[in-house]
Amino acid sequence: MSASAIVAREPMPAHRQIARITGWLFIITFVTSIPAALFLYTPVLDNARYIVGGGADTRVFWGALLEMILIVANIGSAVVLFPILKRQSEGLALGYVTARIIESAFILVGILSLLAIVTLRQDASGADSGSLIAVGKSLVAIHDWTFLLGPGFIVGIGNGLLLGYMMYRSGLVPRRMAMLGLIGGPLIILSGIGVLFGVFDAGSSPQVIATIPEFFWELSLGIYLVVKGFRPSPILADVESAPVARVVVPELV
């Protein structure tokens, strides 16, 4: 007599997979954005004569690569979340995807401005130094404005207000956590407006303090989704499960 023992692995719900992927994408945004802003771009951002001197071009290239990955993670996080968030509000979910795309477009313009400086430094031999320095300063100014208007303003609308509101209303994450987005979003927006109209300088203490709630909102969201996934919510009803993985193990007679 023989029999077969079927060992079945419990399927991972589709919403759990979505949560995990989204969480990792948010974590990737931190891993890729911080080195570029705080270390890799500093030679070109802090030295007005970079364009006519010896350059750390490789560092700039690494920063550009990391920010390209950042763009993919930014848009990916919104696209992956869209099937879930549209169950709460399709209009707001679409607005969130749009905000992520606009933010990424600003980041891309900033990347191009710094790569243009590197190209001019390498290829513009014999050009007037004063003119090159003026062009370099202009390109750095473009980068600074793209950083303010993208990560320093649009993020407050997208990740802060839109995502925070949908997560709060749906209960997909703890509501106290989602409140960080609802608080941090307006603070990011107001700080960006303050810099725009010269109330305080970019990177000054008021702006840094204003980014703290948003910083912890995005970081905690990424970690929470990777570790725990979504909390039970009515909008997860009827979300299909991933295919069941089954292993058939013959039983010896």
Amino acid at 35: P
What is the H or E stretch that residue 4 is in?
A: strand 3-9
Instruction: Report the sign of the C-alpha dihedral through residues 27, 31, 32, 34, in that order.
Output: positive
Task: Give pLDDT, residue 146.
Answer: 95
| CA–CA gap between residue 56 and residue 211 (Å, rounded) | 29
Cβ-based burial of 84 (10 A; exposed 0-12, middle 13-18, buried ≥19)? buried
What is the H or E stretch that residue 99 is in?
A: helix 90-123
> How long a stretch of residues is the chain?
253
Confidence of residue 10 (pLDDT cuts 50, 70, 90): low
In the predicted model, is pLDDT for residue 22 greater than 80? yes
For residue 158, the 8-state DSSP code is: I
In the predicted model, is pLDDT for residue 247 greater than 70? no
Beta bridge partners of 13: 241
In the predicted model, is pLDDT for residue 240 greater than 70? no
- pTM of the predicted protein model: 0.85
Q: Which residues have a Cβ under 8 Å from the Cβ of 145 and sit 6 or more positions away?
A: none
Please say whether the beta carbons of 67 and 36 come within 8 A.
yes
Give the gyration radius of the chain's Cα atoms: 23
For residue 241, the 8-state DSSP code is: B
Task: Give pLDDT, residue 126.
Answer: 64
The token pair that represents 134 in the structure block: 């003026």
Please say whether the beta carbons of 116 and 145 come within 8 A.
no
**pLDDT tens-digit series, residues 119-132:** 988 886 667 788 88
**pLDDT tens-digit series, residues 83-138:** 999 999 999 999 999 999 999 999 999 999 999 999 988 886 667 788 889 999 99
Q: What percent of the chain has pLDDT over 90?
A: 70
For residue 128, the 8-state DSSP code is: -
In the predicted model, is pLDDT for residue 13 greater than 80? no
Q: Which residue has the tokens 């980014």?
A: 211
Amino acid at 225: L
For residue 11, the 8-state DSSP code is: P
Q: What is the mean pLDDT of the chain?
A: 88
